C-alpha cells in the first residue's frame, strides 16, 4: 500500500518529500487513516486526494492528529478527503465490526493476533475479555467455537454500544455477553473464579490488572493472554523484560506457553504478547 501511495504521488511530491512519507496507513472499512509527518502537512490534501483516487474501496481519508491516548485509547482525527464521516463497517476473518473511529478504539493491525488467540479456544470454555472494545476478539471466538461463553467488558459507553450492535450483526447473542464497566470492578463483583481463559488487550495497563485477571480464573487455573508495551534498550530482549515485569506482580505460578512481539509501536517500544498457563 505504501508503495502504491508513493507511486500515485510521484508527480505531486519531490523525491525527498516522498521519502518522508510514513511507510503505511490503515484501511478500516471504507475509511483510510493516514499519519503525515510535519514537513508534509502542507500537502495533506494532495496526499489524501491521491489516496482516495487510487484505492476504489476507500470513500473517506482521515488524518490522525494525535497518538492513541486516554483511558478509552482514542486518537484525534481530521477529515482530509471524501465523505466527511467517522463511522464505518470493517470486515475481518468473516466478521463485521461497526465502529466510530472518533469514539472507539480499533486497529486492523491486530487481525493476525486475534486469529492466533481464537484458534486456541476449545469447546466448552468460558472466557473473559477484560478490554473488549467494539468486540473483535470476543466475536471472532464466538464465530469459530460452537460451545463457548465470552464475557466481554469495556468501560467506554460508545465501545459498549457498538459491541452490542456487533454481537447482533454477527448473530452471536447467546455466546457473547457484553458488559459496560471497569474490568477490575466487574470481575471483583461478579466474575471471580469463572473463566478458563482471560484476554487482556490493554498493553499500557495489563500489569496493573494482572491480579484481577488471575482472580477471574476458575480454581486458579487457566490461560491468560497478556499484552504489554515494553521499552527495551540496546541488547535487551522485550520478551524477557515482559516476563520479569510479570514476576514482580504475580503471586501465582505460571508457565510461558508462547511469547511474541505483536508489533513495534515506537522506537525501542514493542507490543508483546505472553500466553501464560497458570496453575
Interface positions with ligand SAM (CB under 6 A): 71-73, 105-106, 110, 131-133, 136-137, 153-156, 159, 182-183, 201-202
Nearer to ligand SAM, 156 or 194 (CB): 156
Q: Which is nearer to ligand SAM, 153 or 242 (CB)?
A: 153
Q: How far is the CB of 11 from ligand SAM (least distance, A)?
A: 37
Q: Shortest Cβ contact with ligand SAM: which residue?
A: 133
Q: Which is nearer to ligand SAM, 136 or 222 (CB)?
A: 136
Q: In terms of CB distance, is 13 or 179 closer to ligand SAM?
A: 179
d(CA 183, CA 129): 9
Report, in Å, the least distance between residue 178 CB and ligand SAM: 12
Smallest gap from Cβ 139 to ligand SAM, in A, equals 11
Q: Cell digits for 238? A: 522485550
Q: Kindly state the smallest distance separating residue 161's Cβ from ligand SAM, in Å.
A: 12
Please identify, using beta-carbon distances, which residue of 182 and 237 lies nearer to ligand SAM: 182
Q: How far is the CB of 68 from ligand SAM (least distance, A)?
A: 8
Amino acid at each position: 500500500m505504501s508503495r502504491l501511495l508513493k507511486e500515485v504521488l510521484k508527480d505531486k511530491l519531490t523525491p525527498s518529500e516522498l521519502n518522508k512519507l510514513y511507510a503505511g496507513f490503515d484501511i478500516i472499512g471504507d475509511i483510510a487513516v493516514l499519519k503525515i509527518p510535519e514537513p508534509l502537512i502542507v500537502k495533506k490534501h494532495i496526499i489524501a486526494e491521491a489516496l482516495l483516487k487510487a484505492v476504489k474501496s476507500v470513500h473517506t481519508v482521515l488524518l490522525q492528529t494525535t497518538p492513541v491516548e486516554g483511558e478509552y485509547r482514542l486518537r484525534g482525527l481530521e477529515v482530509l478527503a471524501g465523505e466527511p464521516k467517522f463511522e464505518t463497517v470493517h470486515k475481518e476473518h468473516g466478521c463485521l465490526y461497526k465502529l466510530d473511529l472518533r469514539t472507539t478504539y480499533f486497529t486492523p493491525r491486530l487481525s493476525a493476533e486475534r486469529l492466533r488467540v481464537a484458534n486456541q479456544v476449545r469447546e466448552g470454555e468460558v472466557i473473559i475479555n477484560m478490554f473488549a472494545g467494539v468486540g473483535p476478539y470476543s466475536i471472532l471466538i464466538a464465530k469459530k467455537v460452537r460451545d463457548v461463553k465470552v464475557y466481554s467488558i469495556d468501560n467506554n459507553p460508545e465501545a459498549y454500544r457498538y459491541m452490542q450492535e456487533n454481537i447482533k450483526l454477527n448473530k452471536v447473542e447467546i455466546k457473547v455477553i457484553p458488559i459496560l464497566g471497569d474490568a477490575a470492578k466487574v470481575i471483583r463483583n461478579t466474575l471471580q473464579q469463572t473463566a478458563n481463559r482471560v484476554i487482556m488487550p490493554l498493553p499500557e495497563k495489563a500489569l496493573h490488572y494482572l491480579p484481577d485477571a488471575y482472580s477471574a480464573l476458575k480454581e486458579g487455573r487457566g490461560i491468560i493472554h497478556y499484552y504489554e508495551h515494553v521499552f527495551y534498550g540496546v541488547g535487551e530482549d522485550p520478551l524477557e523484560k515482559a516476563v520479569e515485569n510479570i514476576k514482580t506482580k504475580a503471586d501465582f505460578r505460571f508457565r510461558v506457553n508462547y511469547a511474541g512481539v505483536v508489533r513495534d509501536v515506537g522506537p525501542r517500544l514493542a507490543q508483546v504478547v505472553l500466553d501464560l498457563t497458570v496453575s
